[in-house]
Amino acid sequence: MQKTMFDIIKKQNGEAFAKAIRNYDNGILDIPNLDKIVKYAGRKAEPIMEYLISLKNIKIIEKINHEDPIALLSIAGYDAYVVNSLEEQNAIKKYFKRGEELCTFNDAQRFKNYYIINAVHKDVENIKREDFVHPQREDKYGTSVISIQVLKTGGFISIKNRYNHSVENPDNTFNSEPDRIIPGLADAIKYHFNVDFSSRKISLPDDYILLDGKIVKFNYEKNNIYIGDGFYVCNGKIVEINKDSELLFDTILFDFKTKSFREVGQSSGDNSYLVSLFNSVVKNNSVSVRKNVDGTHSFFVGGMPIATLENGTIVALTLPGIREITEVPKNFGKFVRYLSLPDTEILPNNFFTVNLVLAELNAPRLKRIKKNCFNITAIKELKLPELEELGDNCFFSGSDIELINAPKLKIMGANCFKGAVKLKSLDLPKLEKMNANCFLYNTGISSLNLPNLRIMRYNCFEYNRGLKKLELPKLEDMGTNCFLYNSDICSLSLPVLKYMWDNCFANNTKLKMLDLPSLEEMWSGCFRYNDGLLILEAPKLRDMLPYCFE
């Protein structure tokens, strides 16, 4: 008996995938070659359901008179050109902020495999990166420099923008639909290059691309290589790994024949350190893989579980014997929920910077964390008993954190723990310096113990309404807006404070008595709208700017 499309997809993508399609609209199963279309679409049908429905009646809108794409882009406000050389391909690099450059710039063969149109907004010199603090993929800065790239063999188009991986899915700017830039551009590109790619009304979600009519679900994109579950896409071609002898670890590959890790595809070498890091863990030890009842795979080295893998991504990771990690790709560890670093003392910049799901961190010897690490996590209890220094933007918006145990922490960089709204108490007995925006918007802190804090930069503890008593016995310098809108503070002890910058303690209505025996300078707006203040003692105060105590 001939198998139905449902049966084929059930075996290929899983029963849940097949049932989701059938239950949503069984007419989807009548689409010709549906099994080939969804072969690399992953195990969940729901994210692509609307797109699959659109395939039932594809309409390609074509114009009678095909326009010139460069002329159309000029009307849209861009100076554009068709790339014919490596020099032209990379000519727009000067407009990109360091760290946000396109992966295209590292691919010397890109212009040979793709038709490329680079477009620079005519007002680009006035569109500054610093004016866009919260980048959005299609905002004015992101779309001020774009690169439209069409695979020369057809079936694939990508529109890349100026932010690159500082925003989600940057290779899908305008949903990779040229007509969103200006109507008629898709038709113009198609006929200018004589390459067939389909215009469509329904767009694929982020983390999906369309390649030769196939829906491809990818977990990572690195240097124009897309990595999925058991395959990767390189130069527009899908390459399946040998599941009998190879195993995907995010952006690198383990080969059981050589007992070593290597990079995926024709990479530029960005993963070379990661490969050497994992190879140092394996060394000459025995390796094995065990399939778990939940469908994940556990990777053992010398009998010790090192990683748990789910659909080719690492969800649990242990890296023993490594004192310092010096560099990792920015998107490494994107799906890791459990991380153990039993011997690590130093972490590099951007470690786990895009991870949104980390729930448990074991790092008993960690002393220093550099910038932009663990930006957003699901960690509830953070225990770092040896940590001494924390760089800027670490644990940024760790909204689930309820406990911080870092008894040796001395220096905290800017923007740390911003938005940790579930944190009720804070005890950092060795902390000496806190940079800007730390614990900003942490509305629930009611207990604060910082006995050695000497310097606090601007906006720390702003909008915290839980504190009633504040004692900072060694604080000498308090930056702008610290404790602004802390409306419930009734008792305040700052015996050695010398400098208080603008708006500190403004909008406090419950403070009755204020004794600042060492204060020398108070900048504008401090204690403004503190209507209940009755007694002020500040014998050494030399300078007080306007609006204080008004």
Q: What is the pTM of this model?
A: 0.70
Please report the pLDDT score of residue 390 as a whole number: 97
pLDDT at 399: 78
CA distances from 352 to 232, 372, 474, 531 (A): 22, 8, 34, 46
Q: Tell me, what's the pLDDT at 60?
A: 42
What residues form DSSP beta bridges with 149?
116, 158
pLDDT confidence of residue 87? 94
Whether 296 and 309 have beta carbons less than 8 Å apart is answered as: yes
Mean pLDDT in consecutive groups of 10 residues from the start of the chain, 550 residues: 84 94 73 92 92 63 84 96 95 92 88 94 93 90 94 78 82 82 90 73 85 91 84 89 87 89 70 86 89 90 92 91 89 90 95 90 97 86 96 86 95 91 92 93 88 94 86 95 87 93 88 90 90 83 88
Taking Cα atoms as reference points, which of 108, 311, 296, 348 lies closest to residue 229?
Answer: 311
d(CA 65, CA 134): 41
- In degrees rounded to 5, what are phi and psi of residue 305? -70, 120
CA distance 226 to 77: 31
Look up residue 525 and give its two tokens: 């707006």
Residue 182 per-residue DSSP state: S
Q: What's the rounded Cα separation, in Å, for the pair 12 and 42?
A: 9
Q: Sort 1 into a burial class: Cβ within 10 Å, 0-12 / 13-18 / 19+.
A: exposed
Q: How far apart are CA 204 and CA 211, in angstroms?
A: 12
Q: How many CA atoms lie within 13 A of 443 on its CB side?
A: 2
Which residue ranges make up each domain of the chain? 1-58, 69-199, 467-550
Which residues lie closer than 8 Å to 342 by C-beta, 6 or more apart?
A: 318, 320, 362, 363, 364, 365
